[in-house]
């Protein structure tokens, strides 16, 4: 338990963190990697370069300060982050290292404003927060290893099949090299892929949603090739997977993880909305519903650049033909001439509320969505305008969480 003095001191830093939070976390990562370069084998370098990881950590620190007297309110965020930590292999011994450089960064950025009283309060608070993460993650590690077909750390899987799904997305069907059972998962969860890429100094780990229903003898991930765009370099891992990893090759996987999952207890209609490669967890949910709850109404809506980039469309169309309770609609930002022949898509441009309302039978449903951040902001805004209750809106970020407001 934190003392009232510590709580008040932490709360007094909230306005400062709102202004200087990203500067503090940027300084933190610079110090951390300078003194512990081995941790570059865990963190996503691309997110670091784009500033996404720094912003996400700043938001987490800010939230912790705001809710320091009622940390139970941010437990869902703790669990979400803990799932990512477990899938990456973050260990209890990493937390004292992080705490050391976080406090050093606060001191460096705030200067004389970071008094001994403030630093001591944050040291005490960090100990409590780190303890919560360590406890939650310890349970997750045990569950991942001890479940049927489970394992610790990373396990070797063979690429049984590699199938091009669109001009930018390829699916990898992965089976365990040891021939043993694999852990089940909840639709919406992801695995981490760990790669040693020739010519790279550090190991790279990326998380990919499982794009098939659970209960199979394989895992399927469907990976978008991230090409260089403007000031964003090409994705090293996605390029390597697409161009260098062949059928018969080996990938190292963590056990499935993630908090963004289909609520199977809610028997109301389901609405699945995706943009781009954000369709991967939605496809897992869709296939699961088709296999296990064929009497449940499902509306599947997907946005893509055009038909060339639209992955797994035939798979979805087959489900709609087999089950009249499943409907699917496409929105293409820039449809090609071939797309415009017949009824290849249902809307040109971007998803908006009137079109969603024309495709969704009722807002009394469970809504799930995933995709690029601008897409997610637009969908979230539309659902709020429609007055869909917040408790019925569920979403997933690829990479560090960001704000959907604004």
Residues annotated as catalytic are: 95, 137
**155 marked ligand binding residue:** no
How far apart are the C-alpha atoms of 142 and 209, rounded to whole Å? 22
**45 marked ligand binding residue:** no
Q: Cβ of 200: how many Cβ atoms within 10 Å?
A: 13
Eight-class DSSP state of 339: T
Torsion angle, alpha carbons of 246, 247, 252, 256, to 10: 120
**218 marked ligand binding residue:** no
Give Cα 183 to chain centroid, integer Å.
Answer: 20
Under 8 Å between Cβ of 48 and 30: no
**249 marked ligand binding residue:** no
**269 marked ligand binding residue:** no
Angle value at C-alpha 224, between 221 and 229, nearest 5 degrees: 160
3-state secondary structure of 329: strand
Q: What is the Cα gyration radius of the chain? A: 22
**209 marked ligand binding residue:** yes
Q: Which strands make up the sheet holding 204-209, listed edge to edge?
A: 204-209, 190-195, 250-253, 155-164, 169-176, 219-224
Token representation of residue 358: 């024309």
**278 marked ligand binding residue:** yes
How far apart are the C-alpha atoms of 385 and 379, rounded to whole Å? 10
Q: Which strands make up the sheet holding 347-348, listed edge to edge?
A: 347-348, 326-332, 298-304, 270-275, 366-370, 393-396
Eight-class DSSP state of 67: T
**398 marked ligand binding residue:** yes
**350 marked ligand binding residue:** no
Nearest residue to 224 (alpha-carbon basis) of 280, 282, 286: 280
**190 marked ligand binding residue:** yes
SS (H, E, C) 186-214: CCCCEEEEEECCCCCCCCEEEEEEECCCC
**154 marked ligand binding residue:** no
Q: Pairing relation of β-strands 155-164 and 219-224?
A: unpaired
**29 marked ligand binding residue:** no
CB-based contacts of 392, cutoff 8 Å, min separation 6: 363, 365, 366, 367
How far apart are the C-alpha atoms of 239 and 36, rounded to whole Å? 27
**404 marked ligand binding residue:** no
Which positions make up the binding site for heme b? 85
Which positions make up the binding site? 85, 190, 206-209, 276-281, 397-400
Which positions make up the binding site for NADP(+)? 276-281
Which positions make up the binding site for FAD? 190, 206-209, 397-400
């Amino acid at each position: 338990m934190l003392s009232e003095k510590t709580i008040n001191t932490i709360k007094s830093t909230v306005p400062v963190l709102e202004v200087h939070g990203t500067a503090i976390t940027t300084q933190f990562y610079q110090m951390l990697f300078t003194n512990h370069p081995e941790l570059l084998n865990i963190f996503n370098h691309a997110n670091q370069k784009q500033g996404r990881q720094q912003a996400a950590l700043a938001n987490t620190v800010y939230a912790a300060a705001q809710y320091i007297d009622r940390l139970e309110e941010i437990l869902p965020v703790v669990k979400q982050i803990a799932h990512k930590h477990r899938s990456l292999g973050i260990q209890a011994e990493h937390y004292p290292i992080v705490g050391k450089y976080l406090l050093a960064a606060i001191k460096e950025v705030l200067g004389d404003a970071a008094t001994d009283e403030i630093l001591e309060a944050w040291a005490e608070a960090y100990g409590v927060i780190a303890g919560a993460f360590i406890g939650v993650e310890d349970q997750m590690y045990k569950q991942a290893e001890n479940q049927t077909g489970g394992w610790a750390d990373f396990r070797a899987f063979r690429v049984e099949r590699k199938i091009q799904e669109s001009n930018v997305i390829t699916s990898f069907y992965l089976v365990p090299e040891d021939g043993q059972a694999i852990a089940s998962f909840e639709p919406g969860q992801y695995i981490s892929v760990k790669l040693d890429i020739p010519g790279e100094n550090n190991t790279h780990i990326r998380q990919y949603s499982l794009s098939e229903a659970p209960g199979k003898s394989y895992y399927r991930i469907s990976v978008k090739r991230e090409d260089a765009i403007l000031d964003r370099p090409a994705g090293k891992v996605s390029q390597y997977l697409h161009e260098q990893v062949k059928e018969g090759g080996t990938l190292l996987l963590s056990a499935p993880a993630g908090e963004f999952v289909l609520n199977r207890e809610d028997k109301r209609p389901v609405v699945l909305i995706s943009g781009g490669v954000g369709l991967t967890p939605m496809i897992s949910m869709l296939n699961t519903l088709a296999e296990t709850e064929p009497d449940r109404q499902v509306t599947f809506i997907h946005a893509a650049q055009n038909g060339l980039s639209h992955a797994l469309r035939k798979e979805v169309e087959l489900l709609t033909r087999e089950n009249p309770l499943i409907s699917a609609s496409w929105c293409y930002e820039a449809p090609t001439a071939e797309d415009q022949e017949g009824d290849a898509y249902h809307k040109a441009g971007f998803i908006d509320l009137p079109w969603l309302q024309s495709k969704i039978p009722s807002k009394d449903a469970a809504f799930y969505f995933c995709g690029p951040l601008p897409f997610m902001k637009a969908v979230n805004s539309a659902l709020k305008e429609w007055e869909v209750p917040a408790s019925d809106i569920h979403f997933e970020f690829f990479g560090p969480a960001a704000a959907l407001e604004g």
